[in-house]
Structure 1
Amino acid sequence: MAFWNGFKIAFSMYSKIPMPQSQWSRENMRYALGFFPMVGLVIGLLVWAVAELFESLGTAQGQLFRVSVLTVLPVLISGGIHLDGFLDVSDAMSSWQERDRRLEILKDSHAGAFAIICCAVYFVLYAGAVSLIEARTFQPLIFVYVMLRSVSGLSIVCLKLAKNTGLAATFSDGASKKVIRVWLSVYLILCAGVMCWLNLALGVLCAGVVLLVFLYFRHMVYRYFGGINGDMAGWFLQVAELCVMIATAVLTLLKGGTLW
C-alpha cells in the first residue's frame, strides 16, 4: 500500500496527470521519490510519440508548430513545477545578494525581471535545439527525462538541505533514504546503459552533459545557498534538460543532420 500511495503522491506532485488523493503521511512518503522518474518516462514517451506523429504527417508547413508543441509539452505535463524553480533560482542568482536574502527571494511568489528574461532565453534556445532533432532521436531521449529526475531525486536525499522546511525537506525527511538512493541509482545506470545501447555517441554525450551540469549545480547550491531545496532541484532539471537538447542538436549538425 505504501508503494501505491507513493506512486500517487509522486505523480500528483510532479505532474498534471490526474491521480486519486493520498494522505501525505510519513509512511506514504517513504517511497514517493522512487516514482519521480516514472513521470519522466511518461513525458519522454509522449514527446517521442508526438515527434513521430509530426514525422508521419511529413509537412514542412507545420515545422514551427511541431517545434512549439515539443517545446511546451514537458512543461504542460509536469505542470511547470520545475520551471517555477528555475525562475525563482534565476531571480535569486541574479540579485547578487547575501545568502539569506537569496533564500528569501526563492520564497517570493512574484517573478522578477531576470526570471522573465531567463524564461524567454530558455524557451528560445530549447525551441531552436528541438528544431534540429529528428523524430527518431527522441526515442533514446526518452531515458534522459527519466535520468534527470533520478539525479534530481538523488540530490534531495544526498545533498545538504538549505533549510529544514519546504518541499524538498518534506520529501527528504519522509523518504526511506537508503532504499531511495539505491532505487534511483538503478534507474540512472539503466537509463545510461539503454541510451548507449540505442546510440552510443548520444548516450555518452547525454550522460556526460548531465554529469557536468550536476557538478556545477552542486557547487552552486553549496556556495550561494548553503544547500539544496525544491526550487534548486527544479533549476537543475530544467537546465540539464536544456543542455542535453542543445548538445543533441549540435551532435546532429556535426553528424550531417542525422544521428542514424
Structure 2
Amino acid sequence: MKSFITALQFLTRIHLKNQMDLTAEDFGRSTKFFPLVGLILGLIYMLASWCLIAAFGWANLVTTLLVILPVLLTGGLMLDGFMDTVDGVFSGRERERQLEIMKDSRVGSFGVLALVCLFLVNWSALRDVKLVLIMTALFVMPIIGRMAMVMAIAFFPYARKEGMGKIFAEMADRETVLLAAAVTLVFVVPWGQAAIAALLIGLGFAWLVATWLTNKLGGLTGDTYGAIETLTETVVLLVFWGTSWIPGGLHILWR
C-alpha cells in the first residue's frame, strides 16, 4: 500500500497522506504500480467525460476541458519531461550538452512549440473520435501510457551516472514488469479491439522511441520517461481516431 500511495502521489496531484520519510528505494519500488495509477486517472477521465457530455453534449469546450484535465490531475509532470527532452534532443548539440540542456529547469523554444503542437494533435484526435469510443479512449489512455513508461524504465539503460530516474531503472525487476503488465492487460483488453490495437501500437511506438533516444543519448532519463509516456498517450488517441474514421478501420488493423 505504501508503494502504491507513493506512486499515486508522485505521478498525480492526488494526495492521501503525508509521506515525509520516503527514501529513493521507496520511489523505486513504486514503479510496478504506475499502470494502477493510470487506472485511477482513467476512471476520473471517463467519469468526467460522461458528466460533461451529458450536461453539454460533445461541444468544443468539452473537448478542451478533457484535454486540460490530465494536466490538472498530474501537475504537468510528464509534459515537463516531454518539453525538456525536445529541448535537449533537438538542440543539435553533442550528447553531454543535450543531457545538460534537459536538466535545465528553464523551457526553451523547441519545448514550447512541441507542447503547442502536441495539444493541437490531442485536441483534434479526441474531437474526431466517435462519441461511442470517447470514454473507452480516455480510460485506457493513461494505463497504456504508464505501462509504456514502465517498459522504458525496465528494459533500457539509464543515461546519467546519477539522478532520480536512476533508482527507478535499478529497481525495475521482473516482478515490476509482470505486475504492471498484468494490470494493463486486465483493464485494457476487455474494452475490445480498438483498445487492444491501441495497446499494441502504443507499446510498439514507445519501444521505438525509447530505442531511438537510447541511441542518441546513451540511455534514458527521467525526462525521457515522461516524454515516452506523453507521446504514447497521443498515439493511443490517434489509434482510436483511426479506428473511428478510417473506412473499415478495425478490419484494416487486424489484417
Answer yes or no: is the 8 Å Cα contact 2:42–2:142 preserved in 1. yes
> Deviation of residue 192 (structure 1)?
4.4
What whole-Å deviation, never above 9, does each CA across 1:108-144 have from its counterpart, x for those lacking one?
1111111111011111111111112244424433133
Counterparts of 2:247 and 2:52 in 1: how far apart (Å)? 22
Aligned position for 2:129: 133
How many residues align structurally?
247
Q: Are positions 1:144 and 2:141 aligned together?
A: yes
For residues 213-252 of structure 1, the aligned pairs below 5 Å read 213-252=205-244
For residues 1-260 of structure 1, the aligned pairs below 5 Å read 4-22=1-19, 23-25=21-23, 28-29=26-27, 31-59=29-57, 63-141=59-137, 142-173=139-170, 175=171, 177-194=173-190, 198-200=191-193, 202-254=194-246
The verdict on how the C-alpha distance between 1:64 and 1:176 changes in structure 2, with shifts beyond 3 A counting, is: closer
The verdict on how the C-alpha distance between 1:176 and 1:109 changes in structure 2, with shifts beyond 3 A counting, is: closer
What whole-Å deviation, never above 9, does each CA across 1:29-51 have from its counterpart, x for those lacking one?
45311222222112211111121
Counterparts of 1:215 and 1:154 in 2: how far apart (Å)? 8
Give 5+ residue unaligned stretches, structure 1: none
Answer yes or no: is the 8 Å Cα contact 1:51–1:70 preserved in 2. yes
> Deviation of residue 208 (structure 1)?
3.0
Corresponding residue SS for 2:102: helix
Corresponding residue SS for 2:66: helix
TM-score, normalization: structure 1?
0.87
The verdict on how the C-alpha distance between 1:236 and 1:243 changes in structure 2, with shifts beyond 3 A counting, is: same
Counterparts of 1:21 and 1:59 in 2: how far apart (Å)? 39
> Which one-letter code corresponds to 1:67 in the other structure?
T
Answer yes or no: is the 8 Å Cα contact 1:8–1:21 preserved in 2. no
Answer yes or no: is the 8 Å Cα contact 2:147–2:181 preserved in 1. yes
Answer yes or no: is the 8 Å Cα contact 2:197–2:239 preserved in 1. yes
The verdict on how the C-alpha distance between 1:29 and 1:92 changes in structure 2, with shifts beyond 3 A counting, is: closer
TM-score, normalization: structure 2?
0.88
Counterparts of 2:95 and 2:49 in 1: how far apart (Å)? 42
What whole-Å deviation, never above 9, does each CA across 1:236-256 have from its counterpart, x for those lacking one?
111111121122113212259
> Deviation of residue 190 (structure 1)?
2.6
Give 5+ residue unaligned stretches, structure 2: 250-255
Computed over aligned residues only, the root mean square deviation of the Cα atoms, in angstroms, reads 2.1
> Which one-letter code corresponds to 1:205 in the other structure?
A
Corresponding residue SS for 2:157: coil
- Consecutive aligned runs of 4 or more in structure 1 exceeding 4 Å deviation: none
The verdict on how the C-alpha distance between 1:13 and 1:58 changes in structure 2, with shifts beyond 3 A counting, is: closer
Counterparts of 1:158 and 1:134 in 2: how far apart (Å)? 35
> Deviation of residue 172 (structure 1)?
2.9
